[in-house]
Structures are given as C-alpha cells and as structure tokens.
Chains A and B, each alone.
Chain A
C-alpha cells in the first residue's frame, strides 16, 4: 500500500430535490483510499451509499439534485473543478464503476464484445486486430470462459454472474486507478458472489487498484475490505480498519448492527434487534440522526449533532457517548 491516497473525498455534500425544497442525501462525507486498498462503505438502503458513488463520478442528473460542497481529489486532480469534457476524460479511464444490476448496466442490443471494445477503443485508442485481441484479453482477465466465442454473445444469453464479469471487463478497460463497486454481488448467488469477489481481489493484487466497495453485507466487509466506513442517514458515522471495527465498534449504530446479524459459527438464542426504522431524509431528527433508535441517547444527542471523536489510529466515530456527552 502506497501512502499517498489515490482518491480523497473531503466534505462531500449532495442535495437532492424533494417536494418544494431539498434534502441532503450525502452530508459531509470524507474518506480516502490508497492504491491496492479496499474501503467498504456499508449502510442500509437509502443511507446514501449510491448517491456518494454517483457524486464522486459527477453522475447525478440535474433533475435529481447536485453536489453542493466538498472536493473529490483523484490522483491529485479535484474532479469538482473540471468542466464536463475534462470530467469525461477521467470517468471510465481513471475511475470507473460497476453497478448492482448486471442486466440494466449492459446494452441489451449490442454484443458484449462490442461493448467491451467501445470502452477499450475510447480509453486506449486501439483499433483493428489489436483491439480484437484486447477485447478477448479483457474478457479472459475477468475469467470469462471461452472468451473468443463469447465476444459475439448478447447480454441476455449470459448468466447474472457472467454479465457482472462483462461489466467488470468494461470497468477495467482504462485501466482505472479507482474502481467503485456499488453492490455488484447483491443480485448474485453466494457461490457466484464469492467467485466474483475472488476475481476482484486478484485483479487488485495485480494492478494495485483502489476499490470503494459498497455493500450492506458484513460478511463481504469482513472478507475483502481493509477499512470500513459506516453510513447512516447520509453521514459517515464511523470509519475504522476492518479488524478494529469488528473487534471494537465504537458507534452505537455499528455496534447494534453487528450484533443483529446472525453468524455462521456462533449460536445465539435471540438476535439483538435495533427497534424503529431509519429516518426519512426530509424528516431527520435534530441532533444525532440515530438518537431515536439509540440505546445510549441522552438529551444532548437530541439537541446537537455529535462531534467526531478519534477512537484510535485511523479510527473515528461521531457520537456524543464517546465525547462523554459533552461534559
């Protein structure tokens, strides 16, 4: 792991249109990822994980909302200051994404070889036989069996796992320095999922790729991530190295979440359960967003936003409990 982060996100804020006003789907999000490192981004649905990804890539449609603050520094360049043409140059080439639904992220009427080829041609300027070889190599690198024959297949002829590999081949065409993976295995069977995860890890080992891996599955986090950021209602409430997070979760939400997931090797009589449900973004409670569900909440939590506390090297959490409730 090199020490200079390839991707550095600072104070990212994204506001979405909602009714007459706007809501903050991403609220002051900061993290960095080094080359060869995987940062997990976990949280429940609607917590803003996908919005964070799209904001980094500047892919939020203006009808939906816009990034209103913060910096996204990719290899020294602040993406937020680029014009659209310059942004297009980076997008896909240096930073790319694979999405959850392998069916909708591919064009159903184009052969997969052409789709991979389009990306390779655009990013690497290859033509003719060189391009054809690069396509086959790209598919082979994603361990698609018999790539020479598969180039002429259409997406619907492939299984979900194979489609996701094609998506990965396109994403890796650059090849990029940073790969954002937004729940790429959620729609897949466990056996296919672990094949894809192993593949991503191998690619990372070979290329030094930095990965932002979005998921809500702590099994994936424990297995492939180096560090984890936990999101709740648009904010990162805790960020820690993965072993540290599992052994010593500091934020009450992380702690409760970890205890609520059954484990394959441990028997519990009853699962710990977090009562209530995540808040709606247009109706966030004052103070800490987690306060209505938090077992440790006190008055101050319901009044003022919690401070960010450094809980150890590379470990921080935002919670009043850790700050001694402000005494």
Chain B
C-alpha cells in the first residue's frame, strides 16, 4: 500500500483554468531575454528594412567614423563605420540574419540527426544501440573547436560547410539525451498500455515518445543555439567560417581585430551582439528547463 505520489498533486475538478493562473505564468516569463530574442529575430527577418545601408556598401569617404556620441561621429552612421566605410550598425543587423540562420539551421540539423539516432538507439536497443552510442561517444570526445577549424579549413569557408560542421559536432548531445529519455518513456506504463491497446511501434514513437521528448529537446536546443553562435563566430573570426564580406558577427569582429586600439567600435558591437544573443538564449533555456522540472517548479 503506497500513498498517492506527489504530495502537492494538482487537484482541479473543473475544466477552466484559473484566470489568475495565466497572469501568474505571464509574469513569470523571462521577459527581458525573450524580448531580446524577439528583437534579434525581427532584426534578422527585417534586416533589409531596418538597416540604413546595404551591409557591404563601401563609402571610402566615411572610413573609420566613430559612433555618433564621440567627436567626429555622425547620426548617419550611429555605430560608426569600418575601414572600408561600411556602416557598422547595418552590418550588425545583417549579421543577426547570417549568424542566427547559421546557428538555427545547424541546431535543427544536429537536433534532427541526434533525435533520430537517439530514438532508434533507445527504442530498439540491442546491438544497434551499442554501436550508435559508441559513435556518439567518440564524437563527444573530440575537441570541438579544433576539429571545426580543421574541417572548416579543409572544406573551405561557406554557409553550408559551417552548418555541416556544427551539425556534425553537436548531434551526439541530442542523441544521448534523447536515448536516455526514450528509454525512460519506453519503460513507462503508458507505453506498455499503448502496446496492450495494439499500437504499432511507429504509432508509439510518433504519439507517445516523440511528443514527450519535445520539451527537453527545446531546452537543449535553446542552450545550444548560444554555443553554435559562438562556434560559428569563432570559425568566421578565424577565416574558416562564413566567407567575408558576408557580415557574420564573427567576420565583423575579425574585421576590427587589427584596429582594436583605434577603431574599437568595429569589433565591440558585433561582440556585444554575440554576448547578448548567447545570454538571451541561455536564460530562456534555463527558464524552460526550470519550468519543466516539477521539483524546481513548486516554490
């Protein structure tokens, strides 16, 4: 004889959610990081509309202008210009488009590979599981940045190659997490009952296992977006990522590297953009994770 589990089990008899409940949830949202992400997405999507200049437009007359609040600066180039006279603000805005799309596409690629591998390993088990997980472990043991640089250098700088490199390096994390959770869900009573009801493996995977993996996949993905942005920036900075003159943030930081003492604004603003983006995604990821963990949820 055991007690019913979860002493604070919600007891809700009626169908409607409490109106105050929604308000509480809204108030608990991490508004600042989520706002930052929303802003970044707007920047990325509406870059052509928002940016005052095309990102690669050179204006040799306006070279190395400082931000507007510094003597010599001008509101025409609010964050200054670089040594080709390209508008830093415009490049940072366009950079959001490049960097975010690289990171998001790479994460989707990594997530898709990892999820498929993890589900297969966790659900079917046996030799397949052992083999797949050994491969994943081998990938995890590789020092990511070094390999990324080597691969990037071999494949040459291009959008597709950066996506491929990041995707290749990041899928094992998803695979491991998904495998573990698949194992747990597979052992749960509702999956046993689904089999008792006559569900096929496909149906069990699609309606019982996958939907229950989604929340934690989202957490991992939002935490990894930050890491992917940094890796992409590192590769671009080292010249093996996004090829210049495309304005990936890493590329812009690299543009200003030689002039950090005199024209610091070239590197600072894309650097800040990277920092803010990574922080925003990590905070949001943490928040989702806390929301999903019932132990942390009850305060």
Contact = CB atoms under 8 A, between A and B. Distances in A.
Q: Do A and B come from one complex?
A: yes
Interface string B1-39: 111100111110000000000001000000000000000
A190 to B, nearest CB: 9
Interface in A70-126: none
Nearest to A219: B1
B299 interface: yes
Contacts of A277: 11
Contacts of A45: 3-4, 7
A136 B9 CA distance: 42
Contact of A280 (B1, B11, B299): B11
A216 B299 contact: no
A60 B24 CA distance: 27
B1 A217 contact: yes
A17 B299 CA distance: 8
Chain B interface residue number, banded: 10 to 19
Contact of A186 (B2, B9, B299): B2
A192 to B, nearest CB: 13
Nearest to A49: B3
B225 to A, nearest CB: 32
Contacts of A216: 1, 3
B7 A46 contact: yes
A187 B9 CA distance: 20
B128 to A, nearest CB: 31
A186 B5 CA distance: 13
A183 B7 CA distance: 15
B1 A186 contact: yes
B67 to A, nearest CB: 45
A43 B8 CA distance: 16
B241 to A, nearest CB: 46
A183 B1 CA distance: 10
Nearest to A45: B3
Interface string B278-299: 0000000000000000000001
Contacts of B9: 46
Of the candidates B2, B3, B10, the one having the most CB atoms from chain A within 10 angstroms of its own CB is B3
A279 B12 CA distance: 10
Contacts of B2: 186-187
Nearest to A217: B1
A279 B11 CA distance: 8
A213 B2 CA distance: 16
Interface in A267-295: 277, 279-280, 283
A187 B3 CA distance: 10
A19 B299 CA distance: 7
A34 B67 CA distance: 82
Interface in A205-257: 216-217
Interface string B71-99: 00000000000000000000000000000
A189 B2 CA distance: 11
Contacts of A46: 7-9
A216 B3 CA distance: 9
A108 B9 CA distance: 29
A125 B4 CA distance: 41
Contacts of B3: 45, 183, 186, 216
A12 B286 CA distance: 39
Contacts of A183: 3
Nearest to A188: B1
A46 B8 CA distance: 8
A192 B299 CA distance: 37
B258 to A, nearest CB: 53
Nearest to A63: B299
A46 B9 CA distance: 9
Contacts of A279: 11
A280 B10 CA distance: 8
A186 B11 CA distance: 24
Nearest to A276: B13
A216 B1 CA distance: 9
A102 B7 CA distance: 19
A317 to B, nearest CB: 25
A186 B2 CA distance: 6
A185 to B, nearest CB: 9
Contacts of A217: 1
A280 B11 CA distance: 7
Interface string A147-189: 0000000000000000000000000000000000001001100
Contacts of B4: 45
Contacts of B24: 19
Interface of A: 17, 19, 45-46, 183, 186-187, 216-217, 277, 279-280, 283
Given A186-B1, A283-B11, 7 more contacts: A19-B24, A45-B7, A46-B9, A186-B3, A217-B1, A279-B11, A280-B10
* Interchain residue pairs A-B with the least CB separation, the first 4: A45-B3, A280-B11, A45-B4, A46-B7
Interface of B: 1-4, 7-11, 24, 299
18 contacts: A17-B299, A19-B24, A45-B3, A45-B4, A46-B7, A46-B9, A183-B3, A186-B1, A186-B2, A186-B3, A187-B2, A216-B1, A216-B3, A217-B1, A277-B11, A279-B11, A280-B11, A283-B11
